Copies of this chain bind each other. A is one copy, B any other.
Amino acid sequence: MKRFRAGVIRVITLSDQKMRDLHGGLIEKYIPQIETESVCIEDQPEGVHSLYTKAMAVPKVIKAAGKFKDPDVIIVSCADDPGVPELRELLRIPVVGAGSSAAAFARLYGKRTGVIGITDYAPEPFERVFGDGIINLGRPEGVKSTLDLMTDKGKSSVIKKAKQLKEAGADSISLVCTGMSTIGVAADIERALDIPVVDPVLAEAVFAYHEILRTKI
């Protein structure tokens, strides 16, 4: 099978390689044609969870992008898309963000999407695509970090929030934290509530493949 190379930027400093490669592994599972290499931004063990930490991440994302050897596409694996517009300006290859990818896919299911993340604000790419169509009822109860998502309590709290968003009129549920992808909660929500759920790592993987096909074939 023909292989394409994707450089995956993690917007959190992780020393554990298995943790660092978690998103890349999902991307390769979804699109076997893609081979990933993952790089973390430096000096930001707390990741991106606010407008301030997003702004801090931007120059680090640009620096991280320079570490890949001849990639076909660069994926910034964060729903906030830190550094994505800047990298698009700087590079000649396609740059994909989890946030803009997820927002575009969510738009396919209707004009209103309910966002679930670990912050109280909706990521900027969603604001840009949905404007007033975003339904945001805040964080799932008891969930403040991706670690909280890994417990059964965290998962059921996410499903409860999704139910409230559906009742509030959402056409789809958008998971706006990539930690939601690694716990695989999208399928749980779809099963429980019968509503399309947009998973940010799946969305970035599929859009990256679109960009590869658009520019390489």
Whether A203 is near chain B, meaning CB under 8 Å from some CB there, is yes
Of residues 1 through 38 on chain A, the ones whose CB sits less than 8 Å from some CB of chain B are: 1, 29-30, 32-33
Known contacts A101-B108, A104-B105, A104-B108; A206/B210 CB under 8 A: yes
A215-B203 in contact (CB<8A): no
Task: Flag the segment in A142-150, A151-159, A194-202 that touches B.
Answer: A194-202
- Minimal Cβ-Cβ distance residue in B for A203: B210
Q: Give the Cβ gap from A204 to chain B, nearest Cβ, in Å.
A: 11
User: A196 to B214, alpha carbons, bound, how many Å?
Assistant: 8
Q: How many copies does the complex hold?
A: 2
Question: Is B202 a contact partner of A215 (Cβ separation < 8 A)?
Answer: no
Once bound together, how far apart are the Cα atoms of A187 and B30, in whole Å? 25
Q: Let me know if A107 is at the binding interface, CB within 8 A.
A: yes
Contacting pair A107 B105 (CB below 8 A): no
Fill in one digit per residue for A180-217: 1 if any B CB lies within 8 Å of its CB, else 0.
00000011001000001101001100110110011101
Closest-CB distance, A171 to chain B (whole angstroms): 11
Inter-chain contact B104/A217, CB cutoff 8 Å: no
**In the complex, chain B residues whose CB is within 8 Å of the CB of A134:** none
Q: Which of B105, B129, B213 sits near A30, CB closer than 8 Å? A: B213
Q: Which of B1, B107, B190 lies in contact with A104, CB distance below 8 A?
A: B107
Interface residues of A in 101-134 (CB under 8 A from B): 101, 104-105, 107-108, 129
Q: Which residues of A contact B (CB under 8 A)?
A: 1, 29-30, 32-33, 100-101, 104-105, 107-108, 129, 186-187, 190, 196-197, 199, 202-203, 206-207, 209-210, 213-215, 217
A-B contact list, 21 entries, CB within 8 Å: A29-B217, A32-B33, A101-B108, A104-B107, A104-B108, A105-B207, A105-B210, A107-B107, A108-B207, A190-B214, A190-B215, A197-B214, A199-B214, A202-B210, A202-B214, A203-B210, A206-B206, A206-B207, A206-B209, A206-B210, A209-B209
